[in-house]
């Protein structure tokens, strides 16, 4: 069935590609390159042990035995652009999750219930709503750098990336920065539920309870302030007050589910992108120099980082009916996976795709699949781009000699959905740290204006 190819000069047998293997993930880009060439539609039958692991999740509705991964850009696009044929209702992972449609759910829902949730959530991510977040984010980024500057070495993920992205989400939902560690804990508990055991499931429920308590606490205050004519921009106010086409609002339970997705989708993904970006700039010194010489390139640099190392490897769909993609027959109920991280490296779409270039053409970059495509495309994309532009440009400006720590080894995240680093040791000379800019609002505005 498979065409035997080569893998770094050695024969490559695609049958050895196990999409869930943490070992495979250590060298995933090379696997994707070989697969795109020799086996662009990859069929993996889960071993008994894998099936046990996947199907024992307390949310699972029915067993999964195998998975098709689609590696080519055109196939990924075809799947994402046909949401009635390829459903999201059974979740983003290989497991067949119990449908939770009509509960404020976005990412695991289809059709009208998805449209309704999306319509109500969309205003929370409008440019007007997210613009005020940039100056606070700039302050937070500078505070974090001031806090660790003297150390000369940190794990970038733990001490910078996660604190930045959890602060952003805290602010998005109208909580003070001081509560961002709590937000991080709630967000990690939500993610841990998927593919997790009973303990993680209980922790996820605990997190939903915490979000429910928070909404019950702030809801009346927001309603009163709005009634008094105050203009409020936080996402929680929007989620509690926006309506669908028929004028109906989320119930309190729906609002909890919606907000939980902002936490689940918005913290680790952006933090992974931040670490991926710093890794790529540290390992491509010519491109880093180009960016230092011309800070206006930050926008295309961020987009190239997102293309080159998509933090979400791919999210699964379920075939609604018997169908065919790229000559492969799929039966109704088959779990399939469009692989964004591979589509972004497809030489049919991107010029010399394995070359990292901070000044790649915008028109070309706009074709990357990192935020998905179509009806489920990422609601937080503009937010993520801002975090990355401000975080990366400030870090490299203030710690000009920042480098990967040669005494330690970065590690890749072993989680199926994630593509990138979960531990990134970096170091610098504390004597060379530059002071923060005086006006955070002007700095953020300048960087973001340049990033367009
Ligand atoms: C670099 C960071 C991020 C990446 C790579 C990313 C990636 C994605 C992808 C690929 C999807 C589509 C999933 C699918 O079609 O199955 C998605 C959906 C989504 N993202 Fe993001 N995301 C990021 C940041 C954020 C942030 C900061 C938020 C906001 C809080 C967010 C909120 C969402 C939501 C709510 C959805 C579901 C949309 C729907 O189903 O209609 N994401 N994201």
| Alpha-carbon Rg for the chain in angstroms | 22
61 within 8 A of 96, measured Cβ to Cβ: yes
315 close to ligand 1 (CB < 6 Angstrom): yes
Q: Look at residue 41 and give its three-state secondary structure.
A: strand
Alpha carbon separation from 298 to 360, 366, 379, 389 (Å, rounded) = 11, 15, 21, 6
CA 13 – CA 416 distance, rounded (Å)? 21
Ligand 1: does its nearest atom lie under 6 Å from the Cβ of 106? Answer: yes
CA nearest ligand 1 atom 1, residue: 270
38/54 Cα distance (integer angstroms)? 28
Is the per-residue pLDDT at 30 higher than 50? yes
* CA–CA separation, 310 and 172 (whole Å): 23
**Predicted confidence band of residue 8 (pLDDT cuts 50, 70, 90):** low
Query: Hey, is 408 helix, strand or coil?
Result: coil
Contact present, 394 and 402 (Cβ < 8 Å): no
Among the residue ranges 271-280, 289-298, 410-419, 440-449, the one predicted with the least confidence is 440-449
- Torsion sign over Cα 199, 204, 210, 216: negative
Atom of ligand 1 nearest to the CA of 387: 27
- 3-class SS at 433? coil
Mean pLDDT computed over 421-445:
94
pLDDT digits (tens, 9 = 90+) for 125-182: 988 888 888 999 999 999 999 999 999 999 999 999 999 999 999 999 888 888 999 9
Give 61-112 as a DSSP string. EE---EEEEE-SHHHHHHHHT-TTTEE-TT-SSSSEEPP-TTSS-STT--HH
Tell me: pLDDT of 390 over 70: yes
Structure tokens of 11? Answer: 């024969």
Distance 262 CA to ligand 1 centre (A): 8
Mean pLDDT of 243-272: 92
Kindly report the backbone phi and psi dihedral angles of residue 405, in degrees, each rounded to the nearest multiple of 5, phi listed first: -75, 110
Ligand 1: which of 378, 382, 384, 391 to mutate, most ligand atoms within 8 Å of CB?
378
The verdict on the CB of residue 265 being under 6 Å from ligand 1 is yes
Bridge partners, residue 42, by sequence = 69
If one compares 225 and 340, the residue with the highest pLDDT of the two is: 340
Tell me how far the alpha carbon of residue 12 lies from the centroid of ligand 1, in angstroms: 33
Helix and strand totals (H; E) in the chain? 20, 16
Query: Measured from the CB, is residue 272 less than 6 Å from ligand 1?
Result: no
Q: Hey, what domains does the chain have and what are their CATH numbers? A: 40-451 (1.10.630.10)
Q: Give 233 or 323, the one with higher predicted confidence.
A: 323
Query: Which residues 6+ apart lie within 8 Å of 189 measured at CB?
Result: 200, 203, 204, 206, 207
pLDDT in tens, 42-52: 999 999 998 98
Q: What per-residue confidence (pLDDT) applies to 6? A: 64
Decide: 261 in ligand 1 pocket, CB within 6 A.
yes
**pLDDT value, residue 195:** 61
**How remote is the C-alpha of 43 from its chain's centroid?**
25
Cα torsion angle, 342, 343, 348, 349, sign:
negative
Rounded average pLDDT over 265-275: 96
Nearest atom of ligand 1 to the alpha carbon of 262: 30
- Confirm if 271 and 187 have CB atoms less than 8 A apart: no
CB of 397 closer than 6 angstroms to any ligand 1 atom: no
Q: State the pLDDT at residue 3.
A: 47
Report pLDDT for 75: 98
pLDDT at 1: 36
Counting from 1 in the atom list of ligand 1, the atom nearest the Cα of 263 is 30
Would you say the CB of residue 380 lies under 6 angstroms from ligand 1? yes
- Between the CA of 271 and the centroid of ligand 1 the distance, in Å, is 13
pLDDT above 60 (res 438): yes
């Amino acid at each position: 069935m498979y065409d035997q190819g080569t893998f770094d000069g050695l024969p490559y047998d695609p049958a050895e590609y196990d999409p869930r293997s943490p070992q495979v993930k250590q060298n995933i880009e090379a696997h994707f390159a070989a697969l795109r060439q020799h086996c662009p539609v990859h069929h993996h039958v889960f071993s008994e042990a894998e099936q046990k692991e996947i199907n024992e999740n307390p949310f699972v509705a029915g067993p999964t035995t195998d998975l098709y991964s689609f590696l080519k850009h055109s196939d990924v696009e075809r799947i994402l652009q046909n949401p009635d044929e390829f459903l999201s209702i059974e979740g983003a992972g290989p497991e067949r999750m119990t449908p939770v449609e009509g509960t404020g759910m976005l990412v695991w829902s289809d059709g009208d219930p998805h449209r309704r949730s999306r319509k109500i959530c969309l205003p929370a991510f409008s440019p007007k709503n997210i613009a005020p977040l940039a100056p606070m984010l700039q302050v937070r980024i500078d505070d974090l750098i001031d806090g660790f500057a003297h150390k000369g070495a940190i794990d970038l993920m733990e001490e910078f990336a996660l604190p930045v992205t959890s602060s952003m989400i805290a602010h998005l939902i109208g909580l003070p920065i001081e509560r961002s560690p709590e937000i991080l804990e709630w967000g990690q508990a939500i993610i841990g539920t998927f593919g997790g055991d009973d303990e993680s499931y209980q922790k996820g429920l605990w997190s939903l309870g915490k979000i429910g308590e928070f909404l019950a606490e702030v809801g009346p205050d927001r309603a009163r302030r709005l009634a008094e004519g105050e203009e409020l921009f936080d996402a929680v106010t929007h989620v509690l007050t926006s309506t669908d086409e028929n004028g109906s609002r989320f119930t309190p339970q729906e609002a909890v589910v919606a907000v939980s997705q902002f936490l689940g989708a918005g913290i680790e993904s952006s933090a992974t992108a931040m670490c991926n970006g710093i890794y790529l700039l540290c390992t491509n010194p010519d491109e880093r120099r180009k960016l230092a010489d011309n800070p206006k390139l930050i926008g295309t640099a961020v987009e190239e980082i997102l293309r080159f190392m998509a933090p979400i490897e791919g999210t699964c769909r379920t075939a609604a009916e018997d169908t065919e993609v790229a000559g492969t027959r799929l039966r109704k109920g088959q779990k399939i996976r469009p692989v964004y991280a591979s589509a972004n490296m497809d030489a049919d779409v991107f010029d010399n795709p394995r070359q990292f270039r901070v000044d790649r053409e915008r028109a070309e970059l706009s074709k990357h699949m990192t935020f998905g495509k179509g009806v489920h495309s990422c609601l937080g994309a503009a937010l993520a781009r801002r975090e990355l532009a401000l975080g990366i440009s400030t870090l490299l400006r203030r710690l000009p000699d920042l480098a990967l720590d040669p005494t330690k080894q970065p590690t890749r995240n072993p989680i199926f959905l994630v593509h990138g680093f979960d531990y990134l040791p970096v170091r610098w000379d504390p004597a060379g740290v530059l002071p923060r800019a005086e006006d955070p609002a002007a700095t953020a505005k300048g960087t973001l204006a340049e990033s367009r």
